[in-house]
């Protein structure tokens, strides 16, 4: 580690750039606690699973072995068809982990879970979605992003209900499509700052966001939809802050005042936005994040935005 030198590192968790004297550090201070909690949870889950397996082995060892073992049940075509018939209702329900589906079907049909898993292997690997349905899913999801619109039930659930298809089909289609799009991480910190700054100017002047996205795309050499994806990102995630307390009126005023100063600057300051405002106001970074999300959503709701065309 070089004393006195800070390295600019991209966080492997959230993708934001941060400064650190340790060039081997891969996680920003903002994400360290999240990563640690996740790793601790995984460790606890692993220990619980290992205890369960040990208990099963212990019980199995204490039981007398049957004198004659029954022949293993094989997956016949008839059994496979029965499993598919029992699986059919799950296509139109809320998505469940495959383990739970296998367990439920095995218990209902009184067959080993391995046979259920074997019968549904192709279903799990590949969802057959008609081309027309896939294109309509993508079109609707893209329109939601461009309009910065979030239905109360969520985009994927709403699309699934409107098209009469499964949530899983919509989720897989959107996931595969998004993997083919330019990542928001390809926009650097300066570009993100300019987009956010211009966005609030557009809201104040009632400028169509389509015009803003077109202009920013030309400046940065990217697509207008890439700009909309970043705008969509800075409005996303309010549901994750249900357990975070709201800011008091005084705290909210301080946070929004600091945010206004941030947007009035010519370039983004070195500290990250939430940490910077938290340090200047004494409000926790989580409450700062929640307050800014609430503010952006309120501004978007109040603004009269012309519907984007030709994106």
Q: Is the pLDDT of residue 70 over 80?
A: no
For the stretch 250-279, pLDDT in tens is 999 999 999 999 999 998 887 688 888 898
Taking residues 186-201, report their average pLDDT: 92
How far apart CA 267 and CA 36 sit, in angstroms, is 32
Beta strands in the chain (DSSP E): 7-10, 17-20
Distance of CA 266 to the CA centre of its chain: 31
Q: Is the pLDDT of residue 160 over 80?
A: yes
- Residue 94: what pLDDT? 57
- Residue 150: what pLDDT? 92
- Residue 39: what pLDDT? 84
- Residue 310: what pLDDT? 46
Residue with tokens 């005023």, as numbered in its chain: 253
- Residue 232: what pLDDT? 94
Q: Is the pLDDT of residue 286 over 90?
A: yes
DSSP run (H or E) holding 62: helix 29-62
Residue 64 banded pLDDT, cuts 50, 70, 90: low
Distance of CA 147 to the CA centre of its chain: 19
Give residue limits of the domains in the chain.
1-34, 77-126, 131-179, 186-302
* Average pLDDT along the chain: 84
Q: Please enumerate in sequence order all residues whose Cβ is within 8 A of that of 290, keeping only pairs 6 or more positions apart, or say none.
A: 238, 241, 244, 246, 247
Helix crossing, 273-281 with 249-264: angle to 10°?
Answer: 130
How far apart CA 246 and CA 251 sit, in angstroms, is 9
How far apart CA 304 and CA 55 sit, in angstroms, is 62
Tell me how many helices (H) and strands (E) the chain has. Answer: 14, 2
For the stretch 83-130, pLDDT in tens is 878 887 776 565 667 788 888 888 888 888 888 888 777 666 555 678
């Amino acid at each position: 580690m070089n004393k006195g030198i800070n390295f600019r590192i991209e966080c492997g968790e959230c993708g934001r750039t941060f400064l650190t004297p340790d060039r081997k550090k891969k996680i920003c201070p903002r994400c360290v606690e999240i990563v640690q909690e996740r790793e601790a949870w995984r460790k606890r889950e692993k220990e619980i699973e290992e205890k369960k397996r040990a208990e099963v082995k212990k019980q199995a060892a204490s039981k007398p072995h049957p004198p004659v073992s029954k022949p293993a049940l094989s997956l016949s075509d008839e059994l496979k068809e029965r499993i598919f018939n029992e699986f059919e209702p799950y296509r139109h329900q809320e998505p469940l982990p495959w383990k739970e589906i296998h367990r439920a079907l095995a218990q209902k049909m009184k067959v080993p879970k391995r046979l259920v898993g074997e019968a549904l292997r192709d279903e799990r690997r590949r969802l057959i979605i008609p081309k027309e349905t896939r294109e309509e899913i993508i079109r609707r999801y893209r329109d939601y992003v461009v309009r910065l619109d979030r239905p109360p039930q969520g985009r994927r659930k709403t699309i699934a209900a409107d098209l009469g298809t499964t949530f899983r089909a919509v989720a897989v289609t959107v996931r595969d499509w998004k993997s083919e799009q330019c990542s928001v991480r390809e926009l650097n910190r300066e570009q993100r700052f300019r987009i956010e700054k211009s966005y609030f100017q557009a809201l104040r002047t009632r400028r169509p966001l389509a015009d803003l996205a077109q202009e920013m795309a030309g400046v940065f050499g990217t697509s207008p939809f890439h700009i909309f994806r970043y705008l969509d990102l800075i409005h996303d995630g309010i549901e994750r802050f249900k357990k975070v307390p709201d800011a008091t009126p005084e705290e909210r005023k301080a946070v929004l005042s600091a945010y206004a100063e941030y947007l009035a600057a010519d370039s983004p300051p070195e500290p990250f936005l939430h940490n910077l405002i938290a340090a200047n106001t004494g409000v926790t970074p989580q409450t700062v994040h929640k307050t800014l999300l609430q503010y952006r959503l309120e501004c978007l709701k109040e603004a009269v935005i012309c519907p984007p065309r030709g994106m």
